C-alpha cells in the first residue's frame, strides 16, 4: 500500500497536425492509490480524454506520448511493449467510454462482447464466462440478464448500453478503471443513476478509478482527489476538500463560480462565466496557458510558471504565490 497503484510524471502528448505539432498535453503529474477515485475536470479539448487513452496505450499511431515516469503497480508503462499492454488492458485496467451508442460492436451480441475480455485474459470456459456475464449484468441493475446476452446493441437503450459497458469493464475485476465522461451522452435522469452505480461498484470491488468529467457537481460527490486540467496542463491538484474549499488557481476558482453551491450562491444570483477562448496549442506553448483569460495576468505569466505547494498533496501552478486570491472580491 505504500507505493501508489498508478504514478504518472511529466506525461506529454504531441499530435502532428498540418501546420506543426499540437502540444495537447504538457508535463502532467499525478498519483493514484488503490481504491481511490481521482476526478480530472476541465473543458472540452483540455486533453482529459487523451490523457486517459495514453494511460491505456490506446493513442493513435501518429500521436507521440512521452513521460519520465508512468508506472502501474510497478510495471513501467513507458517501456511496456504492445503484448504487455494487451495483457493489462481489459484485465487489470479497464475503460468505459463516453458514447455508449457507438462503443459497442453492432455485429455481435451483448453476451459475446461481455464474455470476450474474460475469455481473453482468464483460462475459463464459455459456461463460466457466461455465468460471470449474467452475474455482472445483474450487478449493474439489468433485469432479465440471461435473455439480454443474446440481444444486439441496437436493441438496447443508451442507459442500458452504458450499463453493459460498465459490466464489460468489470468482467475481470480490474484494479484500475478509467471512465471518460461516462454519462455525458445520457439523459439527465439516467446520468445520476449510472454514476452512482459506477462509484458504488468501484468501492465494493476496491478499484481505483479515474473519472473524467466536466461536471463539478459530480466531482464534489465522488472524488477523493481532484485534478483540474486546462489547455493540456494540470493547473491544480489536491484532495477534493482542498480543491473545493481552498481553490488556489484562478481557473479553478472561475470553474467553481460557474456552479451554484448550496448555502453560498444566492437564489436568483447570476452564475459566473469565464470569458475568452482556449488558446491555440500548435507550435510551442510557453508560460501560463490561462493568461489570456485570467483577470490577474501580468507580464511574468509568459515566462516559466512555478509549481506551488500550499499544503500536503495540494499543488497548483501560478506566478502569484497565492493565486492572487486576495484581489478577488468574495462572491
Interaction site with other proteins (CB under 8 A): 56, 58, 82, 86-91, 94-95, 97, 99, 102-108, 113, 116-117, 120-121, 152, 154-155, 165, 168, 279-280, 285, 287, 289, 291-292, 294-299, 302
Work out whether the CA dihedral 237, 241, 244, 249 comes out positive or negative: negative
Q: What's phi and psi for 199, nearest 5 deg?
A: -70, -40
Query: Whose Cβ is closer to other proteins: residue 28's or residue 94's?
Result: 94
**Distant-in-sequence, close-in-space partners of 217: CB < 8 Å, separation ≥ 6:** 259
CA distance 60 to 62: 6
Query: Whose Cβ is closer to other proteins: residue 165's or residue 318's?
Result: 165
Query: Whose Cβ is closer to other proteins: residue 108's or residue 269's?
Result: 108
Least Å distance, CB 164 to other proteins, is 11
Query: Whose Cβ is closer to other proteins: residue 2's or residue 82's?
Result: 82
100's grid cell:
455508449
Query: Whose Cβ is closer to other proteins: residue 206's or residue 280's?
Result: 280
Least Å distance, CB 36 to other proteins, is 21
Least Å distance, CB 312 to other proteins, is 32
Enumerate the β-bridge partners of residue 37: 209
Using the 8-state DSSP alphabet, how is residue 138 labeled?
H
CA distance 80 to 2: 23
Query: Whose Cβ is closer to other proteins: residue 218's or residue 288's?
Result: 288
Least Å distance, CB 239 to other proteins, is 29
Least Å distance, CB 243 to other proteins, is 24
Q: Compute the residue count for the chain.
A: 331
DSSP string for residues in 77-125: TTT--HHHHHHHBTTTEEEE-S-TTTSS-TTS-HHHHHHHHHHHHS---
Least Å distance, CB 262 to other proteins, is 30
Amino acid at each position: 500500500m505504500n507505493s501508489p497503484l498508478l504514478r504518472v510524471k511529466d506525461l506529454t502528448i504531441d499530435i502532428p497536425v498540418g501546420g506543426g505539432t499540437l502540444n495537447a498535453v504538457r508535463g502532467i503529474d499525478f498519483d493514484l492509490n488503490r481504491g481511490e477515485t481521482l476526478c480530472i475536470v476541465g473543458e472540452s479539448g483540455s486533453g482529459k480524454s487523451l490523457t486517459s487513452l495514453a494511460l491505456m496505450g490506446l493513442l493513435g499511431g501518429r500521436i507521440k506520448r512521452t513521460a519520465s515516469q508512468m508506472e502501474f503497480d510497478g510495471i513501467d508503462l513507458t517501456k511496456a511493449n504492445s503484448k504487455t499492454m494487451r495483457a493489462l488492458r481489459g484485465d487489470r485496467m479497464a475503460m468505459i467510454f463516453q458514447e455508449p451508442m457507438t462503443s459497442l460492436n453492432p455485429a455481435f451480441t451483448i453476451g459475446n462482447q461481455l464474455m470476450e475480455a474474460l475469455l481473453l485474459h482468464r483460462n475459463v470456459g464459455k459456461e463460466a464466462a457466461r455465468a460471470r456475464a449474467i452475474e455482472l449484468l445483474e450487478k449493474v441493475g439489468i433485469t432479465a440478464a440471461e435473455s439480454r446476452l443474446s440481444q444486439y446493441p441496437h436493441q438496447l437503450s443508451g442507459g442500458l448500453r452504458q450499463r453493459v459497458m460498465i459490466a464489460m469493464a468489470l468482467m475481470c475485476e480490474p484494479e484500475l478503471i478509467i471512465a471518460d465522461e461516462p454519462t455525458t451522452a445520457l439523459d439527465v435522469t439516467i446520468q445520476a443513476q449510472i454514476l452512482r452505480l459506477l462509484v458504488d461498484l468501484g468501492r465494493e470491488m476496491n478499484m481505483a478509478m479515474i473519472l473524467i468529467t466536466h461536471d463539478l457537481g459530480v466531482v464534489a460527490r465522488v472524488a477523493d482527489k481532484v485534478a483540474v486540467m486546462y489547455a493540456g496542463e494540470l493547473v491544480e491538484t489536491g484532495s477534493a476538500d482542498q480543491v473545493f474549499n481552498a481553490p488556489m488557481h484562478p481557473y479553478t476558482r472561475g470553474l467553481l463560480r460557474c456552479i451554484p453551491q448550496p448555502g453560498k450562491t444566492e437564489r436568483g444570483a447570476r452564475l459566473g462565466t469565464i470569458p475568452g477562448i482556449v488558446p491555440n496549442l500548435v507550435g510551442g506553448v510557453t508560460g501560463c496557458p490561462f493568461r489570456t483569460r485570467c483577470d490577474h495576468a501580468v507580464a511574468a505569466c509568459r515566462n516559466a510558471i512555478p509549481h506551488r505547494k500550499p499544503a500536503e498533496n495540494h499543488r497548483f501552478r501560478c506566478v502569484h504565490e497565492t493565486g492572487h486570491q486576495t484581489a478577488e472580491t468574495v462572491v
